[in-house]
């Protein structure tokens, strides 16, 4: 049996914040929030859509991992009760570090104090923008926390999850996978063994004429409670014949405990300890008077209660 990922997990069992807290990583590892934007009435004056009143601006940096909190507040710009003062020119929009892929601009409504999304600059180079947006068209509120991170942490979380899945012979967070078999089981083997699953999406096979067929759901039964789970023909039925070829049968299934919150604490703790070691020793060795390979036998016992044991 070969298993490949069809639809990867949408989330990881651990968040960046959980890893930062465990590893005692402070906010200096986050992308800092932007500095101040210069805002002034557009010149030459032009009629526009901005509501009359005082407006202030802030920006955020966006990276592959998240978005910073809103940066320094600009000076207020007042749009007077005059149609020609309906646009605001923004200059000196801050440019972020090498990891920044975009910037977001936020503005208050007239006389307001909440910063709402004005525009997204999909680069890290533009420094000017003309605001001509009515208050009613502003978007979501600016974030109050910084969700960016050292990209290494995201890679370490994914690596630790893959290692835990290999050790446990199970999948942690919900994902869709394809299991490939050369044929349906026969003789004394009356089951197809799979990692613990939530549901079976489909079973397809290549029949003896070489055509791909989909097995109707009422032709098989799923025992998701067993560990590993089992799939058998429905009562009174047998598996259909398949052509003799590699990967003649494909079982698509959904596996995992569910969302990140459903992953047992012992697995998360194992992952945190592994991540902490990898973060501190990125070269995989401890160099001193002697050199040792990085090892985890002292924490592997945390996984014992969740291991999937193969049947004899």
Which helix H or strand E contains 102, and what residues bound it? Answer: strand 102-108
User: Helix H segments across the chain?
Assistant: 16-22, 151-168, 265-280
pLDDT digits (tens, 9 = 90+) for 275-290: 998 888 766 555 554 4
Does residue 82 surpass a pLDDT of 70?
Answer: no
Which pLDDT value is given to residue 312?
46
Q: Which pTM value belongs to this model?
A: 0.64
Q: For residue 161, give the nearest of 149, 143, 173, 152 by alpha carbon.
A: 173
Helix, strand, coil percent content, the chain, rounded in steps of 5: 20, 30, 50
Does residue 294 surpass a pLDDT of 70?
Answer: no
Lowest mean pLDDT among 129-138, 153-162, 201-210: 153-162
Does residue 156 surpass a pLDDT of 60?
Answer: yes
Which pLDDT value is given to residue 58?
98
Mean pLDDT value across residues 142-157: 85
Which pLDDT value is given to residue 296?
54
Lowest mean pLDDT among 42-46, 96-100, 197-201, 293-297: 293-297
Give residue limits of the domains in the chain. 31-137
At 306, the pLDDT band (50, 70, 90 cuts) reads confident
Does residue 89 surpass a pLDDT of 70?
Answer: yes
Strand order from edge to edge, sheet including 220-223: 192-194, 229-233, 220-223
| Residue predicted with more confidence, 196 or 68 | 68
Which pLDDT value is given to residue 300?
78
Rounded Cα–Cα distance for residues 272 and 22 (Å): 7
Rounded Cα–Cα distance for residues 158 and 127 (Å): 35
Q: For residue 268, give the nearest of 195, 177, 173 by alpha carbon.
A: 173
Which pLDDT value is given to residue 128?
97
| Residue predicted with more confidence, 230 or 103 | 103
Are 172 and 13 in contact, with CB atoms under 8 Å apart? Answer: yes
Q: Angle at CA 22, nearest 5°, toward 16 and 27? A: 60
Rounded Cα–Cα distance for residues 121 and 112 (Å): 23
Structure tokens at 96: 């972020």
Mean pLDDT value across residues 83-98: 86
Using CB atoms within 10 Å of the CB of residue 96, give its burial: 0 to 12 exposed, 13 to 18 middle, 19+ buried. buried
Which residues contact residue 265 at a Cβ distance below 8 angstroms, ignoring those fewer than 6 apart?
none
Structure tokens at 93: 């929009």
C-alpha distance from residue 236 to each of 86, 172, 232, 233 (Å): 77, 34, 11, 8
Which pLDDT value is given to residue 247?
95
Does residue 157 surpass a pLDDT of 60?
Answer: yes
Which pLDDT value is given to residue 308?
76
pLDDT digits (tens, 9 = 90+) for 3-49: 888 888 888 999 888 988 898 877 666 788 999 999 999 876 677 89
pLDDT digits (tens, 9 = 90+) for 170-217: 899 999 999 999 999 876 556 777 778 899 999 999 999 999 999 999
Mean pLDDT value across residues 238-257: 94
| Residue predicted with more confidence, 195 or 87 | 87
Rounded Cα–Cα distance for residues 197 and 35 (Å): 49
Q: What mean pLDDT is reported for the chain? A: 87
Q: For residue 255, give the nearest of 218, 280, 222, 288 by alpha carbon.
A: 222
Does residue 144 surpass a pLDDT of 60?
Answer: yes
Highest mean predicted confidence (pLDDT) among 72-86, 147-161, 249-263: 249-263
């Amino acid at each position: 049996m070969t298993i490949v990922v069809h639809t990867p997990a949408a989330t990881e069992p651990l968040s960046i914040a959980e890893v930062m807290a465990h590893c005692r990583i402070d906010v200096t590892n986050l992308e800092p929030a932007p500095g101040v934007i210069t805002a002034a009435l557009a010149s030459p004056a032009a009629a526009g859509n901005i509501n009359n009143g005082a407006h202030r601006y802030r920006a955020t940096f966006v990276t592959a991992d998240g978005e910073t909190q809103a940066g320094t507040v600009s000076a207020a710009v007042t749009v007077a009760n005059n149609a020609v003062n309906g646009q605001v020119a923004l200059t000196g929009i801050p440019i972020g570090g090498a990891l920044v892929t975009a910037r977001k601009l936020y503005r208050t409504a007239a006389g307001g104090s909440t910063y709402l999304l004005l525009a997204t600059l999909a680069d890290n180079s533009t420094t000017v923008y003309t605001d001509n947006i009515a208050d009613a068209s502003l978007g979501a509120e600016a974030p109050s926390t910084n969700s960016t991170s050292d990209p290494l942490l995201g890679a370490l979380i994914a690596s630790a999850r893959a290692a835990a899945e290999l050790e446990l012979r199970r999948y942690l967070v919900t994902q869709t996978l394809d299991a490939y078999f050369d044929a349906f089981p026969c003789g004394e083997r009356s089951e197809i063994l799979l990692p613990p699953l939530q549901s079976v999406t489909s079973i397809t096979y290549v029949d003896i004429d070489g055509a791909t067929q989909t097995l109707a759901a009422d032709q098989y039964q799923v025992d998701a409670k067993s560990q590993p789970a089992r799939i058998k023909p429905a009562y009174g039925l047998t598996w259909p014949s398949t052509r003799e070829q590699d990967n003649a049968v494909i079982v698509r299934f959904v596996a995992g405990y569910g969302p990140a919150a459903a992953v047992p604490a012992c697995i998360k703790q194992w992952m945190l300890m592994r991540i902490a070691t990898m973060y501190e020793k990125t070269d995989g060795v401890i160099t001193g008077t002697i050199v040792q390979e990085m090892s985890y036998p002292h924490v592997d016992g945390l996984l014992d209660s969740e291991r999937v044991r193969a049947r004899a």
